[in-house]
Amino acid sequence: MHAGALRALEFDRIVSVVSGLAVTPTGEAKLAELTPAVDATRVIALQRATTEGTRFLADHPGFPLRAPSDLDAILDSLAVDGRALEALRLLKLGDYLESIEQSRQAIRKVGSAFPILSQQVDAVASFASEIADVRRKIEPSGDVADNASPALAQIRDRLRRQKQRLRSTLDSFLRGRETAKYLQEQVVTDRNGRHVLMVRAEHRSAIPGIVHGGSTSGASLFVEPLETVEINNEIVALEEQEMEEVQRILLALTDAFRARPDELERTVEVATALDVIQARARFSLMTGSVEPIITADGTFELKGARHPLLMRAVAQRLEEYEGSNPEPRTPNPEPRAQSPEPVPVDILLTPPTRVLVITGPTTGGKIVVLKNAGLLVVMP
């Protein structure tokens, strides 16, 4: 269909509302590309899927789909061999795939009544084992658990012991009668990853060690006592080992999903398709739409048709998406008058009649009727 005609009908605003009803980034992107279908078989298939979706939503809260806003970035990373997902993104991927499995189970419970939806979810693959492994090894906070691997547990145990040894050694300087008097402050601070003491500049030689710079005023020097140099070195080495082991664990968890590319792709496609059906169904319920009868004899009939963009629920959605109400809220605002619902119209054209002429005074609703008819034709 001609792009200019679609713009005149404001079809893009319908697309904005429908795509805004999606709950996944992939579903929203798919809906944003909506164009009128011209093949009768495809139109009927889309209509039946939407009708089935509305029936499902009438008796159920919807598909329990959940998706992170950075889903596309997560999926792009999975396509790059050797790239590990960050811990939080692995948790997000697991939650997303779990929501698809939950949607599959919800549909299968009532599958006989929803054949189109049931056929959709047949392609969903289970990633329960991979998800469970992620949740065993990554805490909800995004930290990799100590027991994620024997090597990590051992490294962190040694790291804790070395840090305790370092604290004890530095505490002896803070509490020692012969050393405390040379300190500017009774604190341990960090300089470039090394734990140091704040020694008064005039007592530099009182505490032998490595100087890691001084304060802005020059009154203090940051000294790493010689007694702690070896301990600090061990801590730095262990932290590097910890980082390497964590990275190895994250890569192994990522590769478990990456090893099943076809199943993952099909599962994402199913989630996208379900989200598209759900969004179309929600719009249908929002506007009180019904599945049209598609005929081949050229008859065009609308009964009680209402302009969808003028319907209150749709107009409110458009305000949210287009930012058409930017004024800040004020105390005790005047109640905003609700716009009336559009007046329904009936139109009937039967062959051989192909043209309808509408006349009347200015602002009498002629354009609304024409746009209404045009939108209802292209929306299926």
- Strand extents, DSSP E, 179-312: 183-191, 194-200, 209-214, 220-225, 300-305
Residue 372 lies in a domain: no
Residue 283 lies in a domain: yes
- Maximal CA-CA distance, the chain: 110
Question: Can you tell me the distance from the alpha carbon of 198 to that of 108, in angstroms, rounded to the nearest whole number?
Answer: 67
Calpha distance 160→152 (Å, rounded): 12
Q: Check whether 331 has a pLDDT greater than 80.
A: no
Answer yes or no: is 165 within a domain. yes
State how far the Cα of 304 lies from the Cα of 106, in Å rounded to an integer: 35
Residue 249 counted as domain residue: no
Tell me which residue of 91, 89, 96, 94 sits closest to 74, measured CA to CA. 89
Mark whether 313 and 199 lie in a shared domain. Answer: no
> What integer pLDDT is reported at residue 238 of this predicted model?
97
* Residue 112 CB-half CA count within 13 A: 0
Digit-coded pLDDT (tens) for 27-79: 999 999 999 988 889 999 999 999 999 999 998 888 999 999 999 999 999 99
Of 241, 268, 289, the residue that ends a domain is: 241
Residue 253 domain flag? no
Domain with 217, as residue range(s), is 150-241
- How far apart CA 74 and CA 291 sit, in angstroms, is 37
What percentage of residues in the chain have a pLDDT greater than 90? 58
Q: Are residues 123 and 44 in the same domain?
A: yes
According to the model, what pLDDT value does residue 324 have? 46
Same domain, 12 and 94: yes
118 & 30 share domain: yes
Tens of pLDDT along 295-313?
888 898 989 988 888 888 8
Mean pLDDT value across the chain: 90
Per-residue tokens: 83 = 């790239």
Contact 75, 268 (CB under 8 A): yes
Average pLDDT over residues 245-272: 98
Report if residue 48 sits inside a domain.
yes
- Extract the tokens encoding 288: 């009180």
Instruction: Give the residue carrying structure tokens 């629920």.
Output: 313
Q: What is the pLDDT of residues 119-158, one digit of tens each?
A: 999 999 999 999 999 999 999 999 999 999 999 999 999 9
Per-residue confidence (pLDDT) for residue 260, from 0 to 100 = 97
Of residues 326 and 221, the one with the higher pLDDT is 221
- Residues 20 and 287: their CA atoms lie apart, in Å, by 15
15 pLDDT higher than 70: yes
pLDDT of residue 109: 92
Q: Which residues pair with 195 in a beta bridge?
A: 190
Cα 262 to Cα 241: distance, rounded to the nearest angstrom? 35
Is the CB of residue 235 less than 8 Å from the CB of residue 119?
A: no
Asked whether residue 265 falls in the same domain as residue 118, the answer is: yes
C-alpha closest to that of 81 among 259, 245, 250, 249: 259
- Residues 89-95, mean pLDDT to the nearest whole number: 98
Whether 224 and 301 map to the same domain: the answer is no
pLDDT score, position 263: 97
pLDDT at 1: 61
- Assigned domain for 107 exists: yes
Produce one character per residue of 39-71: b if its CB has 16 or more CB atoms within 10 Å, e if not. eeeeebebbebbbbbbebbeeeeebebbbbeeb
Please tell me the total count of domains within the chain.
Answer: 2
CATH of the domain at 113: 1.10.1420
Q: Are residues 226 and 284 in the same domain?
A: no
In this structure, the answer to whether residues 105 and 172 fall within a common structural domain is no
- 49-58, 76-85, 158-167, 198-207: which has the minimum mean pLDDT? 198-207
Q: In the prediction, which pLDDT does 334 show? A: 46
Q: Based on the domain organization, do 162 and 72 belong to the same domain?
A: no
Per-residue pLDDT, averaged over 325-335, amounts to 43
* Band of residue 337 on the pLDDT scale cut at 50, 70, 90: low
Residues 75 and 11 both lie in one domain: yes
In a domain, 36, yes or no: yes
Most confident segment among 164-178, 192-206, 264-278, 343-357: 264-278
Are 12 and 116 members of one domain?
yes
Query: Where does 238-344 show beta strands of DSSP type E?
Result: 300-305
270 and 164 co-located in one domain: no
Between 333 and 277, whose confidence is greater?
277
Q: How far is CA 69 from CA 141, 234, 270, in A?
A: 18, 40, 18
Look at residue 99 in the predicted model and tell me its pLDDT: 97
